Structure 1
Amino acid sequence: MDFIYTEEQRMLADSLRRLVAQDWTQALRRKRQEAGALDAGAWDALAGLGVLGLNIAEDCGGFGEPPASLLPVHLELGRGLVSEPVIPSAVMGAALVAACGEGARRRWLPGIASGECIASVAWQEPGRRYDPDPANCRASRDGLGWRLDGAKHLVWHGAAAAVWLVCARGEDGAPLLLAVPAGIAGARVTDTPTLDGARCARLDFDGVRLDAEALLAQGEPARQALAESLHWGTAALCAHAAGAMERLLEITVDYLKTRKQFGQPLASFQALQHRVAEMYVAKELALSMAYVAAAALTEDDPLQRRRMLASAKLQTARAGRQLAQAAVQLHGGMGMTDELEVGDYFKRLTVADQLLGDSAEQLAVLEALAREEEGT
């Protein structure tokens, strides 16, 4: 995979950086977070740049860009701590729908690409951590359609979604993927803020009735489509975290150059220079892992793909924790206040570790893969 930006990717990255610098300042970000609802203007601005349709096929209203295009986009979104549901909808939702057949693609992808339809993948259940196989959320036949009962939680931007892509357990025990319109009778949404100012929701379904067209996939195709969604989301999240680390390092270096002690800039003290060097290494490691994660999406061997993604997510989280803690410490007491952006980046990197499988989960995945290889 070639990670050198094409001219189009460079232009998109530059345009995104200008947009983020203008519309995602600390004050504007926090104002949106306090509002607790999706800012339509900010969302339309992202859609206008083509960010939402980047990896969606051209015949479905997108641009058909390869996985490598995730890097320039999500690095810039991470630098600006953009909290809008780009990854949940334009990456994860689009990847899931694209893997579900022509009918689903034609129905949902054009709206996702234009931003008119926000999709959110509802895959986690209370008490089951990161297990993608549904257990308590069940779908049963209801005439020609379906009846949905149960709960999903930690649905990323679930309250802002126009459609929930729900993984449920069928009557035969196999998984089903259902497209559930938001606001449908029998569905209750409990929206909550996350540590980093984004949003997540719990969805409770009580006798929700769906037509036959709601079924996207079932059995092994449903399991594979959900896995594809999680893989694409992981790659985008790694790039987002790497971008946040890059910007946090810049903020810290600028602070050390301007803050003085004993008449000298803090940046002139060798001990602090060593800490900054360690932060730079951590940032470069995270960027390299973002490349690995994007490359994994083109990997044909499923075991190798899972290994690359788990390793990338694990190392990115570790590097992010190291860099974020150092940034807070180097800012001294100011680093603990709400006045500076440092805490915002610290929180985003902390949440990025938890999303789509924390470090303990990635270690478990790598251990399981090692055992699987030994068995073969």
Structure 2
Amino acid sequence: MDFTYSEEQQMLADSLRRFIDTEYTFEARRKSARQGESLDRGVWNKLAEMGVLGLTVPADFGGFGEGAASQLVVQRELGRGLVLEPVTPSGVMAAAVLSAHGSDAQKQEWLPAIASGERIVTLAYLEPTTRYRPESARASAERSGDGYVISGTKSVVWHGAAADAYLLTARVSGSNEIALFLVPRDSKGLGVTAYPTIDGLRAADLSLQNVAVPASALVGQPADGLAALGVGLEHGIAALCAEGAGAMEKLIQITGEYLGTRQQFGKPLASFQALQHRMADMLVQKELALSMAYVAAQALDETDPAARRRMLSAAKVTVARAGRFVGQQAVQLHGGMGMTDELSVGDYFKRLTMLDQLLGDSDYHLQRFGEVMEA
């Protein structure tokens, strides 16, 4: 896989960076986050116009049909700007699931709407007792006539309040099959409780009480649920790794500018060798994270499932560790100001911290990496 930016990719990166610098300002982002809004429809429509939401959606369904390399370009820029909007859960993860496992009718109805920004779809697979193990799902899907009746709870649904539909896992009654269903937000018996997360984004808990869905809501076959969900999670991990690398890149830039202007003993802080060494360590960690983001993107084209899981877990753990290091160093190098809400450094630190928890934390991915290596 060639990660040298093509002319089109460079133009897209430049356009995104220009948009973030001029229109998606930090002040506007913080205002949206503090008002409890992680979806600005004006920003969302602009991202759709730029092709961000339909980047990996097949061209037959209104997208651009780009691959993992282009996705890395976009997510890196979104990470630099700490973009709040649900690009990853909808434009990356849900689009990947429906493209790979959706029926023709589901693709025709939902993929063009995702690409245009008209609809938002997110994954709902976590439950209070399952940790990151989707195979332990307790939500049930009872067969009823030509459809199913779903009951149970889902927790920490990423951008759940903004979604128009959920790709939701449930165990089919009378079997060990975990099926994946496309459940509209307005389904009778579906309740949504939204709340903020530490990084300024939003999540939600879902309660399902006898939610009736037709057989056409099933994504693939009942036995395909975990495989279909896995496609979305893998694309999401690769996107998060690229986003984390972009956030670290911007945070190092912000810290360098601060050290260059802040005076101590009549000299800028950047002139002190000890602080230069710490900045160099941050840069090394950022480059390591970016390299592993490339590994994660390359893993999406890996045909061996075991090798793909190994590459993605290694990337997720490495990026999380690098993000924690860069974030902590940035806060410390800003001194007391780094602990306040006045500067953006805290927002970057919170986002980099949260990246470790999303789609499996380091403990989970270290265990998965070990299981793959042992096998």
TM-score, normalization by structure 1: 0.97
Structure 1 equivalent of residue 5 of structure 2? 5
Q: Distance in 1 between matches of 2:280 and 2:144?
A: 61
Write the deviation string for residues 292-349 of structure 1: whole angstroms up to 9, x where unpaired: 0000000111111100000000000001111110000000000000000000000000
2:149 counterpart letter in structure 1: R
Report the CA distance shift for 1:27/1:11 in structure 2 as closer, same or farther (over 3 A).
same
2:288 aligned with 1:285, yes or no? yes
Tell me which residue corresponds to 2:360: 357
> Contact conserved, 1:134 with 1:167, CA < 8 A, in 2?
no
The AA in structure 1 aligned to 2:366 is L
Q: Alpha-carbon deviations, 1:68-106, whole Å to 9, x = none? A: 111110000000000100000000001111121442222
The alignment partner of 1:236 has SS state of helix
Distance 2:137 2:270 in 1: 54
| 1:61 counterpart letter in structure 2 | G
Q: How does 1:48-87 map to 2 (within 5 A)?
A: 48-87=49-88
- Structure 1 residue 134: deviation in Å? 4.5
CA contact (8 A) 2:180 2:224 kept: no
Unaligned runs of 5+ in 2: none
- Structure 1 residue aligned with 2:274: 271
Query: Is contact 1:153–1:201 with CA below 8 Å preserved after alignment?
Result: yes
Q: 1:181 Cα shift?
A: 0.5
Percentage identity across paired residues of the two chains: 56
> In the alignment, what sits opposite 1:17?
17
Query: What amino acid is aligned across from residue 114 of structure 1 in structure 2?
Result: S
Task: For residue 219 of structure 1, report the CA deviation from its aligned partner.
Answer: 3.9
TM-fit CA distance, 1:184: 1.5
- How do 1:289-308 residues align onto structure 2 when only pairs under 5 Å count? 289-308=292-311
| Length, aligned pairs only | 372
SS in 1 for 2:69: helix
1:125 maps to 127
Q: Which one of the candidate residues 211, 216, 219 is aligned to 2:219?
A: 216
Q: How big is the shift at 1:24?
A: 2.3
CA contact (8 A) 1:165 1:177 kept: yes
> 1:220: how far off?
3.9
State the SS of the aligned residue for 1:99. helix
1:237 paired residue number: 240
In structure 1, what residue type is equivalent to 2:31? K
Q: What residue number does 1:141 align with?
A: 143
More moved, 66-75 vs 134-143: 134-143
For 1:2 and 1:102, the matched residues in 2 are separated by 32
Given the alignment of the two structures, is residue 113 of structure 1 paired with residue 132 of structure 2, yes or no? no
Ranges in structure 1 where 5+ consecutive residues have no aligned partner: none
Q: CA deviation at 1:35?
A: 2.5
* TM-superposed deviation, 1:216: 1.2
Partners in 1 of 2:192 and 2:249 — Cα distance? 35
Deviations 1:196-235 (A, max 9, x none): 0000000000011112211112344222111110000000
Post-superposition CA distance 1:102-138 (Å, at most 9, x none)? 4222221111111111001001111211001143111
CA distance in 2, matches of 1:366, 1:177: 25
Tell me the SS of whatever aligns to 1:217.
coil
What TM-score do the two structures reach when normalised by structure 2?
0.98
